[in-house]
C-alpha cells in the first residue's frame, strides 16, 4: 500500500474510519491514541510507516502541502552564549463571534514561515474540531511529515485592544520553538540608551502564558513595521509592530556572559583583582565621597512592595471606555481571604440610618438630594440579583456634615466596616500616598500674590469600576423602600 500516493492511503483509512496514528483501531481518533508508533523511514513518532509521504517526487505531485518555518532556536553547544531576543509578544486570541472567550498567549511573528501555526493547547482550549490535515514541515532540521487539525474564524488582538486581525487558517503544530529566553523584557530595554523610552511599552514576562502561536507570511499586516529604533553597530534594535513593540538581536544583561574556556591558577579573585587562596567575605563596605550630596528625591518616601503591586495593577488595567470615562478595577490583594456575605450587617445599619432620618427630616432631605445626584449622573445602578454562593460585599452608609457647609451632607460608603473580622479595605491595596507635603504647600503660598483653591464635586465618583468588581460595592438605599444598589464608581 506504500506505493499508493499518500492522499489515497489517507482516503482509504478515512473511509474505513481507522485511527490515523496506529492504523489498527476504529474505536478512537488519532488525538486520543495512546499507541507508540515510529516511522521506519524517517524515525518520526507522529505517524506510522504506512502513512509516510512520498517525499521524493516531481514538483507539483506532492500529496501533502508543504509548510516552511524558520529555525528560531539552536540547541546544544554553541560558540556564543549571549541572550538573543526575537519577535515574540503577548497577544489576545478569541473566536470571531465570541470576544469574551479570550486566551492570552505569546506569539512569534516569523516572516520565514509561510503558514500560521498554533499548538494543540490552543486548539484544545477553544474545543476546535476542525478538519484534520497532513502536511510536510520544512525547517533547518529537514523535512518532517506532520498531521494536525485546521482552525478558522479566530481573531488575534494586541494586549491594549487597539489593534485586531483575523487570523488565516491555523494549522495544529507542536513543533513551534519554545525558547522563552527570546521574549523581550522591559529590563532589556532599560539596559540600552536608545531603547529606554520604550521600556514601558514592553510587557513583563508572564510565567503563566506559553508560546502557542506562530504568525507567518499569510498574515502580512502583522509584519508591518510602524516605527523602529536603531542603536550603534551590533546593538539590538526595536520595532513597533501593529501588535506591539519587540526587540531583536543579542542582548547582554549585567555582563553575564558564560566563557567557553577558563584558564586560571587562582582559587579566588578579590574585587581589586588580587588573587588569594582565602574565600572573600561576602559583606563589603564601600566609601562614597559624595555621600552627603543632596538630591530632589531625598525627602520623598520610596514606594513599598504593596504600593508597587498597586501601581502595576493600575498601569495594566486603568483605561478609558467607549464613553471616554476612566475605568479601573478594585486593587485586590493576592491570596486574599474570601469575603463573607455581610448583607445582614448592612441591613441593620440601613435601618439605623432610617431611624435617624425619621428623627431629623432635614438630614433626610439633604441625604436624598446627595444620593439623587449620584443616581442622576449614573454613578450607581440597581444591582441585579446574585446567587447565594457568589462572593459580594455590602457597604453601609452614614452621613457626614462639614462645619463650613451645614446645609450639605456627604454620604459615606463605609468600606472599613467589619463583618466576621473582615472589611473590604482589608483585601484591597491602599496604593501610594499621593497627597502633597503640607510644608511644600505652605512654602508655595509665598511664591506668588494670589492663591486659588478648588473643590471638585463628586470627583472620585467619576472613575468607573469594572463590571466584574461592582458586586463588591453593593449598598442598601431607600427613597421609599429599601433597594439593593451597587456603585459603578470608586470613592
Angle between helices 343-359 and 361-376 (to 10 degrees): 130
The dotted CATH code for 83-251 is 2.40.70.10
pLDDT at 55: 43
- Which residue carries 442622576 as its cell? 376
pLDDT at 53: 62
Residues in CB range of 304: below 8 A, 6 or more apart:
432
pLDDT at 392: 93
Domains 83-251 and 343-487 share a fold: no
pLDDT at 287: 63
Which pTM value belongs to this model?
A: 0.42
CA distance linking residue 36 with residue 22, whole number of Å: 8
Q: Regarding the domain delimited by 343-487, which CATH topology (the fold level of the hierarchy) does it fall under? A: HIV Type 1 Reverse Transcriptase; Chain A, domain 1 (3.10.10)
pLDDT at 294: 76
Q: What is the mean pLDDT of each run of 10 residues along the chain (491 residues)?
A: 63 74 71 72 68 50 52 43 81 93 94 89 89 75 75 94 93 86 90 91 91 92 94 90 92 52 52 68 66 71 86 89 85 92 92 90 90 87 88 92 86 92 93 82 83 74 84 84 59 56
CA distance linking residue 440 with residue 447, whole number of Å: 11
Identify the bridge partners of residue 149 per DSSP, sorted by sequence position. Answer: 132
Q: What is the 3-state secondary structure (H, E, C) of the chain?
A: CCCCCHHHHHHHHHHHCCCCCCCCCCCCCHHHCCCCCCCCCCCCCCCCHHHCCCCCCCCCCCCCEEEECCCCCCCCCCCCCCEEECCEEEEEEEECCCCCCCEEEEEEECCCCCCCEECHHHHHHCCCCCCEEEEEEEECCEEEEEEEEEECCEEEEECCCCCEEECCCEEECCCCCCCHHHCCCHHHHHCCHHHHHHHHHCCCCCCCCCEEEEECCCCHHHHCCCEEECCCCCCCEEEEECCEEEEEEEECCCCCCCCCCCCCCCCEECCCCCEECCCCCCCCCCCCCCCCCCCCCCCCCCCCHHHHHHHHHHHHHCEECCCCCEEECCCECCCCCCCCCCHHHHHHHHHHHHHHHHHCHHHHHHHHHHHHHHHHCCCEEECCCCCCCCCCCECCEEEEEECCEEEEEEEEECCCCCECCECHHHHECCCCCCCCCHHHHHHHCCCCCCCCCCCCCCCHHHCEECHHHHHHCEEEECCCCCEEEEECECC
Domain-by-domain residue ranges, the chain? 1-63, 83-251, 343-487
pLDDT at 246: 94
Contact by Cβ (8 Å): 182, 86: yes
Amino acid at each position: 500500500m506504500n506505493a499508493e500516493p499518500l492522499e489515497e492511503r489517507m482516503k482509504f483509512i478515512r473511509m474505513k474510519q481507522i485511527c490515523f496514528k496506529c492504523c489498527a483501531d476504529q474505536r478512537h481518533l488519532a488525538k486520543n491514541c495512546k499507541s507508540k508508533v515510529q516511522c521506519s523511514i524517517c524515525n518520526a513518532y507522529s505517524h506510522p510507516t504506512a502513512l509516510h509521504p512520498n517525499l521524493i517526487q516531481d514538483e507539483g505531485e506532492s500529496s501533502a502541502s508543504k509548510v516552511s518555518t524558520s529555525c528560531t532556536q539552536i540547541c546544544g553547544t554553541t560558540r556564543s552564549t549571549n541572550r538573543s531576543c526575537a519577535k515574540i509578544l503577548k497577544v489576545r486570541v478569541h473566536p470571531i463571534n465570541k470576544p469574551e472567550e479570550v486566551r492570552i498567549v505569546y506569539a512569534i511573528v516569523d516572516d520565514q514561515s509561510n503558514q500560521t501555526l498554533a499548538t494543540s493547547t490552543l486548539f484544545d482550549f477553544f474545543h476546535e474540531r476542525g478538519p484534520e490535515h497532513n502536511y510536510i514541515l520544512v525547517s533547518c532540521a529537514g523535512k518532517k511529515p506532520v498531521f494536525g487539525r485546521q482552525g478558522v474564524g479566530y481573531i488575534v488582538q494586541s494586549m491594549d485592544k487597539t489593534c485586531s486581525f483575523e487570523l488565516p487558517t491555523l494549522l495544529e503544530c507542536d513543533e513551534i520553538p519554545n525558547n522563552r529566553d527570546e521574549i523581550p523584557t522591559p529590563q532589556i530595554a532599560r539596559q540600552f540608551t536608545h531603547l529606554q523610552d520604550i521600556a514601558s511599552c514592553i510587557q513583563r514576562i508572564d510565567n503563566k502564558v506559553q508560546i502557542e502561536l506562530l504568525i507567518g507570511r499569510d498574515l502580512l499586516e502583522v509584519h508591518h513595521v510602524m516605527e523602529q529604533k536603531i542603536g550603534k553597530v551590533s546593538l539590538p534594535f526595536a520595532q513597533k509592530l501593529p501588535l506591539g513593540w519587540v526587540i531583536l538581536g543579542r542582548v547582554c544583561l549585567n555582563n553575564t556572559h558564560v566563557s567557553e574556556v577558563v584558564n586560571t591558577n587562582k582559587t579566588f579573585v578579590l574585587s581589586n583583582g588580587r588573587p588569594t587562596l582565602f574565600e572573600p567575605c561576602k559583606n563589603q563596605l564601600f566609601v562614597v565621597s559624595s555621600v552627603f550630596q543632596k538630591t530632589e528625591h531625598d525627602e520623598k518616601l520610596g514606594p513599598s512592595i504593596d504600593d508597587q503591586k498597586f501601581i502595576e495593577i493600575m498601569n495594566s488595567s486603568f483605561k478609558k471606555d467607549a464613553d471616554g470615562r476612566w475605568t479601573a478595577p478594585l486593587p485586590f490583594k493576592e491570596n486574599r481571604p474570601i469575603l463573607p456575605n455581610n448583607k445582614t450587617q448592612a441591613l441593620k445599619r440601613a435601618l439605623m440610618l432610617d431611624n435617624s432620618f425619621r428623627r431629623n427630616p432635614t438630614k433626610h432631605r439633604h441625604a436624598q438630594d446627595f444620593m439623587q445626584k449620584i443616581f442622576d449622573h449614573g454613578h450607581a445602578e440597581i444591582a441585579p440579583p446574585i446567587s447565594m454562593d457568589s462572593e459580594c460585599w455590602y457597604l453601609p452608609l452614614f452621613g457626614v456634615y462639614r462645619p463650613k457647609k451645614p446645609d450639605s451632607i456627604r454620604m459615606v460608603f463605609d468600606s472599613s466596616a467589619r463583618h466576621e473580622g473582615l472589611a473590604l479595605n482589608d483585601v484591597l491595596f491602599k496604593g501610594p500616598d499621593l497627597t502633597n507635603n503640607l510644608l511644600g504647600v505652605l512654602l508655595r503660598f509665598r511664591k506668588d500674590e494670589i492663591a486659588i483653591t478648588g473643590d471638585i464635586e463628586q470627583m472620585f465618583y467619576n472613575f468607573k469600576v469594572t463590571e466584574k468588581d461592582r458586586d463588591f460595592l453593593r449598598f442598601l438605599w431607600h427613597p421609599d423602600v429599601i433597594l439593593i444598589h451597587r456603585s459603578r464608581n470608586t470613592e
